[in-house]
């Protein structure tokens, strides 16, 4: 199965629409949203195309194909709009024997690794995409499709058959790493 991993949408409908277009075009099987879905957050400016209600409508149509994690800007009010659970701090995705720890990044991250054995930890939160190895674990930060930092372009990732690939919001492959 091909998984699309995205974080930090922060209410931007145009950013989400590009991600969903890629998801459909590439025939992904599951959309993994790693938090900060509807709310732009008090530290950010208003994103272009801010439309949380439309985002909820678009995502709810695909609820059967979505797993999601709570970000630091997500709340119970957001959950009331969405038809898939978003309030877990992490989830463990096991694919072909590979253990992927998915989280937002404000609780678990490369500085505060979760306990246990994982092949990869995948998160967002910092809005800085990366793929590095740490103590035998692949650390992947999806970046942000709405508010990238550090001079980066908006990014998201895919995972398929042991390979993570980072993409720009325009669908350009930036880097691939095999577990």
pLDDT at 126 (0 to 100)? 98
Which residues of the chain are under the pLDDT cut of 50? none
pLDDT at 88 (0 to 100)? 97
Distance CA 83, CA 177 (A): 33
- Where do the domains of the chain lie, and which CATH numbers do they carry? 3-178 (3.60.21.10)
Return the closest-CA partner of residue 50 out of 11, 107, 6. Answer: 11
pLDDT at 44 (0 to 100)? 84
pLDDT tens sequence across 70-100: 999 999 999 999 999 999 999 999 999 999 9
pLDDT at 51 (0 to 100)? 97
**Whole-prediction pTM:** 0.97
pLDDT at 41 (0 to 100)? 85
Helix (H) or strand (E) holding 58: helix 52-60
Return the closest-CA partner of residue 6 out of 69, 55, 98, 52. Answer: 69
pLDDT at 45 (0 to 100)? 86
Give the up-direction half-sphere exposure of residue 39: CA atoms within 13 A in the CB hemisphere. Answer: 16
**139 secondary structure, DSSP code:** E
């Amino acid at each position: 199965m091909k998984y699309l991993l995205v974080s930090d949408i922060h209410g931007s409908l145009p950013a989400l629409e590009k991600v969903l277009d890629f998801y459909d075009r590439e025939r992904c099987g599951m959309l993994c949203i790693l938090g900060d879905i509807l709310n732009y957050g008090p530290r950010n400016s208003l994103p272009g195309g801010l439309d949380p209600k439309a985002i909820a409508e678009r995502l709810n149509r695909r609820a059967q194909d979505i797993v999601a994690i709570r970000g630091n800007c997500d709340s119970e009010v957001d959950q009331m709009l969405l038809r898939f659970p978003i309030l877990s701090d992490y989830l463990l995705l096991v694919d072909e024997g590979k253990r992927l720890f998915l989280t937002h990044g404000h609780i678990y991250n490369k500085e505060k690794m979760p306990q246990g054995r994982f092949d990869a930890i995948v998160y967002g939160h910092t809005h800085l995409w990366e793929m590095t190895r740490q103590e035998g674990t692949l650390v992947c930060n999806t970046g942000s499709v709405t508010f990238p930092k550090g001079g980066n372009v908006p990014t998201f990732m895919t995972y398929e058959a042991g390979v993570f690939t980072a993409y720009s919001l325009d669908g350009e492959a930036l880097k691939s790493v095999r577990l």
